């Protein structure tokens, strides 16, 4: 993800809340990228996430675009008035979906690694979904991506090692990863590059830094 940001002229500044970094004033930035800090329980605001959600709301009011990925997409949805609910069936697999913009958001394969479903805020528009629920949504200049376009084989290998549960077919996931990663990587680059380019073009200004307040 950092290489795509650099190609579009964004200069990253990394914020690690798991290392007690302080969140800066969101009005200083044109774009914030958040990977979140894990799922939100039953759509509520846990003590750990309250500061993050407040910061996202301030970013929205300040006109700062937010790109939420994975848990970051969940946090963005909740911050804008949506919710997160437990899925009836966990999704720890490569998935395909229906897309309203297939030239921008490919049908797949995408790596889903979630036990939750996003319930979108009223102002959000579904851009891609699978049978379980929304996978990509837009809300003004914000974009939420429930799956993980940033994943690489080494990252996924660590997730599989840490994961537990009878629904996880680790061997299948790793086999599909070796077969599909090149296509998924190209689709991820197109998705992210198109979104970032649209922000730069709409602003008419050189991009500023981005924020990554995540430990995903």
User: Between residues 32 and 213, which one has the greater pLDDT?
Assistant: 32
Q: Which domains does the chain have, with CATH numbers?
A: 2-202 (3.40.50.880)
Q: Is the pLDDT of residue 129 over 50?
A: yes
| Other CB atoms within 10 A of residue 111 CB | 27
Q: Is the pLDDT confidence value at 51 over 70? A: yes
Task: Quickly count: other Cβ atoms within 10 Å of residue 141's Cβ.
Answer: 18
Q: How confident is the model at residue 216 (pLDDT cuts 50, 70, 90)?
A: very low
pLDDT tens digits for range 131-180: 889 999 999 999 999 999 988 899 898 888 887 666 677 888 888 898 98
Transcribe 15-73 into DSSP letters: E-GGGTPPP--GGG-SEEEE--SSPPGGG---TTTHHHHHHHHHHHHHT-EEEEETHHH
The C-alpha atoms of residue 173 and residue 188 are separated, in whole angstroms, by: 18
* Single pTM value for the model: 0.86
Residue 109, classed as helix, strand or coil, is coil
């Amino acid at each position: 993800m950092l290489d795509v940001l650099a190609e579009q002229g964004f200069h990253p500044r990394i914020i690690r809340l798991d290392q007690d970094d302080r969140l800066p004033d969101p009005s200083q930035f044109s774009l914030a990228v958040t990977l979140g800090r894990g799922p939100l329980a039953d759509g509520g605001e846990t003590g750990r996430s309250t500061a993050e959600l407040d910061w996202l709301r301030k970013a929205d009011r300040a006109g700062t675009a937010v790109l939420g990925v994975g848990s970051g997409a969940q946090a963005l949805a909740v911050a804008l008035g949506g919710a997160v609910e437990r899925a009836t069936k966990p999704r720890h697999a490569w998935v395909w979906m229906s897309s309203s913009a297939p030239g921008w958001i490919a049908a797949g394969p995408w790596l889903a690694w979630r036990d939750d479903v996003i319930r979108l805020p009223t102002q959000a528009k579904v851009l891609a979904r699978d049978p379980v629920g929304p996978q990509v949504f837009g809300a003004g200049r914000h974009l939420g991506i429930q799956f993980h376009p940033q994943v690489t084989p080494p990252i996924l290998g660590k997730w599989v090692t840490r994961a537990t549960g009878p629904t996880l077919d680790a061997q299948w996931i790793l086999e599909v990863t070796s077969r599909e990663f090149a296509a998924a990587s190209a689709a991820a680059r197109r998705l992210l590059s198109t979104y970032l380019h649209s922000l730069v073009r709409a602003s008419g200004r050189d991009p500023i830094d981005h924020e990554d307040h995540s430990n995903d």
